Amino acid sequence: MIHDRPYMTQRSYHSGTASLLKWVLLINCVVFVLQNAFFVWFNSPILSNLFGLSPETLSQGFVWTLFTYAFLHGDLLHILFNMLIVYFIGQAVESLVGPKRFAIIYTTAALVGGLVWLLISMQRPSTELIGASAAALGLLTYFCCSQPNQPITVLLFFVLPLTIKPKWLALGLLAMELFGFLFYELPGRSAIANSAHLGGMLGGYLCFLAFQSGYSFSLFGSGTRISAPKWLQHRGKAPLSKQPFNVNVSSRQVLRTEVDRILDKINSKGFGALSNEEKKILEQAKDILK
């Protein structure tokens, strides 16, 4: 039945892990294994040298490091902490916006985090930035902005369950990162890159504002759009062409057809891609087709 589908529930973001998220997790884990293999077997930090972000490597033309640093990690606790955040928050975000926008949020947060860190670290060329913390906090910030009042339960220190509204969680994290940046990173008292974390949060917030305003992130005009590789895209029904629609709610068959079209759109683009009118139709369908 229509009302049994995950798209029709208010907590649709609690559905299973989406495909692109699985690839992000897998790539991070594989790269971490390769990092350790090169270091243990060949005593070589070659991956960090080629793909880690630093003022020195960027000045040598390694522009790809603005993104690739987010797939490298220093130790087991580092990657474990980041991947737990990406996994739990990533499920929610990808279910809300779909895989394409998930990729945009993830990469934008990593890029902005790297740029902000570079601005702070230009006078320290020997320093290096690695880790997915900026991308993870960007995803978390996007979720908190898009679902500010939906109570969620988090594990404080991975032990104590805490139910809190996302908007307060985001503000608390922002305050903590600002404190760490001003009193630990800037004076050189800590190696934690709070500036990158703040940049990642800024990237997530900018994506939220862009999606809210309807910006499509098109490249080179309107002809090209950012999308996942074909081998990652959903291989279900072919996308339906966009057509104007008027639903006659008195006809169950017309309504069912229209709802199927909307559910196909959710499956391919995510719940966040729906217009207000399409959301209203789904609400009507829950009662009429139950």
pLDDT at 289: 59
| Same domain assignment for residues 24 and 148 | yes
| Same domain assignment for residues 147 and 247 | no
pLDDT (average), residues 179-207: 94
What CA–CA distance (Å, rounded) separates 71 from 33? 11
How many independent structural domains does the chain possess? 2
Q: Is residue 2 part of a domain?
A: no
pLDDT at 281: 81
Which of 90, 130, 93, 95 lies closest to 113 in space, CA to CA? 130
pLDDT at 270: 72
Most confident stretch, 35-39, 217-221, 241-245: 35-39
What CA–CA distance (Å, rounded) separates 171 from 177? 10
| Same domain assignment for residues 263 and 129 | no
Q: Is residue 241 part of a domain?
A: yes
Most confident stretch, 9-13, 55-59, 79-83, 219-223: 79-83
What CA–CA distance (Å, rounded) separates 49 from 34? 13
Question: With the C-alpha atoms ordered 15, 73, 154, 173, is the resulting torsion angle positive or negative?
Answer: negative
pLDDT at 35: 94
DSSP secondary structure letter of residue 53: B
pLDDT at 198: 98
| Same domain assignment for residues 104 and 158 | yes
| Structural element, H or E, at residue 225 | strand 224-225
What CA–CA distance (Å, rounded) separates 186 from 184? 6
| Same domain assignment for residues 41 and 141 | yes
Q: Is residue 3 part of a domain?
A: no
| Same domain assignment for residues 40 and 91 | yes
Neighbours of 288 (CB within 10 A): 15
| Same domain assignment for residues 219 and 177 | yes
Long-range contact pairs involving 167-173 (C-beta distance under 8 Å, separation at least 24): 169/140, 169/144, 170/140, 170/141, 170/144, 170/145, 170/201, 173/137, 173/140, 173/201
Residue 36's domain comprises 17-224
DSSP 129-162: B--SHHHHHHHHHHHHHHSTTS-EEEEETTTEEE
| Same domain assignment for residues 214 and 242 | no
pLDDT (average), residues 159-169: 84
Instruction: Tell me the per-residue pLDDT of 5-32, one tens digit each, with 9 for 90 and over.
Output: 443 344 444 444 447 999 999 999 999 9
| Same domain assignment for residues 149 and 265 | no
* Number of alpha carbons in the 13 Å side-chain half-sphere of residue 132: 29
CATH number at residue 159: 1.20.1540.10
Q: Is residue 200 part of a domain?
A: yes
pLDDT (average), residues 75-79: 94
| Same domain assignment for residues 46 and 120 | yes
Q: Is residue 231 part of a domain?
A: no
Q: Is residue 248 part of a domain?
A: yes
Query: 183 CB contacts (<8 Å, ≥6 apart)?
Result: 189
pLDDT at 274: 78
Q: For the full predicted model, state whether its pTM sits above 0.85.
A: no
Mean model confidence pLDDT for the chain = 81
Q: Show which of 224, 252, 276 is a domain's final residue.
A: 224
Q: Is residue 110 part of a domain?
A: yes
Name residue 224's beta-bridge partners: 219
Q: Is residue 1 part of a domain?
A: no
| Same domain assignment for residues 155 and 252 | no
